[in-house]
Structure 1
């Protein structure tokens, strides 16, 4: 194995303890809300007992079975996992999220045709924080360093929510590192995007996972919300960003949306094939913002999914994943 990469077999200190608590809280709240997880929510086994219990059970496959690795990049350590073979696609997750926020079935569907790499943004899990103040461009620089260290050779980049902002900044600052850009439920950094409504923002930050799910999916898509919530509980040690990291991310998002991040004001320079996507009923990112983003990026095409919200890519994965595959294939 390269000196730049090593496998993590143990918990990641405080982040791991937060992970276990978050998973238990999520399971309990989902149960109260009628969102019963597919497997019982119990504390993660200790490191000492994990190997013994693993030998007696079937090992998970796909992204659930992928080990967490650490890439030693020029911008600090970055925790990541990968699965699948084929042309590379890098998934950049959003505000407050970790690698465990990607639906396993969604990642595995992409992995049927791609080498999929997921990773934690700055200050999450095993990933080092960036030098303060945290900004979208600084997180894009760390992402660029990961691409270089893993020798991904111009991957397609799919960014969800804040991850889409990072993807835009990456394409502006390092265009030679990106082959295709898929922007999911995200905003341009020109200063002209409609703001996130206070009610939707408060729901996203709620300690009640059922409230969080309610702002990610339309009210009539409870089955999709339930499926997504249950899918996250399949990760052995579900975790998310700390409160301090979320505060840093929130400030970076605010700076981006206000047009104060230099890369955000230069999205017109993006020249790689770009697909802008969102749910037509996204409460966190009104559809008008997707239209603005399409118009801001000269190469962009827009696809909106009806009766879907901020988490449309999981709700409509059956059509979204083939759309991504076709977009990458047609644009080669």
Structure 2
């Protein structure tokens, strides 16, 4: 496993065989491993390089990967958070990582919660980005997400709607900067997730609960693993209000919310989010 001085833009695609399929991943930095599960319709190329590089600069080995059957990974594709969590755990085991921070964005945040509940042996912390807690929600997602996320191809304006705060000029400008950074990787890119297949897994309207996994909620209520959730105050698919509703029930959860921000807070505030994560990991155990 190479951890030479690559950036997120130059990191080579690497592969590891695990349980009958090949998982594709990238790794930058050295230090404490942090493994990120990606979002709906995401692959290794949807992460903002500034966010990943900022984490590497703060002493993390930052690992992103493609789920089974998606991107550059082989195997059967399955968007169940339980299947995605198994991918993450199998990758961690195959690379023999220890003292791991499990991270996840959106759908990947659901997977990361399953990892916490079912595969915590190698973990020290969890970092959740713009995701939903399990169980009933006090605030539903917005129809606008389903109408936008299900398009075969998303324009820049769609991405502003999905991941930023369209009503904020500062957020719009951050969206452009983030998109430009992501576009800098032009070679050895991953394969896009099939849009029709992905759309079939989210339905066409808001659901309550978004993540119907009561056993996972019960696990979060009893875990000793420190959990950080980072969000924008206007997340159209995973409203942050649903985390605050559990304030008295999750004994290890810390909540960080950016004002006038959306579903991709780590892309709008890459350096700040990396610094918050580093401080969280350093100061909790």
1:126 to 68, 72, 91: 72
What is the match of residue 156 of structure 2? 210
Change (3 A) 1:139 1:269: farther
- How much has 1:87 moved relative to structure 2? 0.9
Q: Is the 8 A contact 1:80 1:117 kept in 2?
A: yes
Is 1:139 aligned to 2:139, yes or no?
no
Is 1:72 aligned to 2:25, yes or no?
no
Is 1:232 aligned to 2:182, yes or no?
yes
Superposed, 1:165-314 pairs within 5 Å as 165-192=110-137, 194-206=139-151, 207-215=153-161, 216-219=163-166, 220=168, 221-236=171-186, 237=189, 239-247=191-199, 249-250=201-202, 257-260=210-213, 262-263=215-216, 266-292=219-245, 294-314=247-267
- How much has 1:245 moved relative to structure 2? 4.2
Q: With structure 1 as the length reference, what TM-score do the two structures score?
A: 0.75
Distance in 2, matches of 1:247 and 1:317, equals 28
Distance in 2, matches of 1:135 and 1:255, equals 16
- How much has 1:232 moved relative to structure 2? 1.7
Q: For this pair of structures, how many residues does the alignment match?
A: 273
Structure number with the higher helix fraction is 1
Distance in 2, matches of 1:172 and 1:292, equals 20
Rg larger in structure: 1
Q: Is the 8 A contact 2:104 2:129 kept in 1?
A: yes
SS of aligned partner of 1:118 = strand
- How much has 1:259 moved relative to structure 2? 1.5
Q: With structure 2 as the length reference, what TM-score do the two structures score?
A: 0.86
Distance in 2, matches of 1:293 and 1:164, equals 16
Distance in 2, matches of 1:281 and 1:244, equals 27
- How much has 1:281 moved relative to structure 2? 1.8
Unaligned runs of 5+ in 2: none
- How much has 1:319 moved relative to structure 2? 1.6
- How much has 1:194 moved relative to structure 2? 3.2
In the TM superposition, structure 1's runs of 4+ consecutive aligned residues that sit over 6 Å from their partners are 253-256
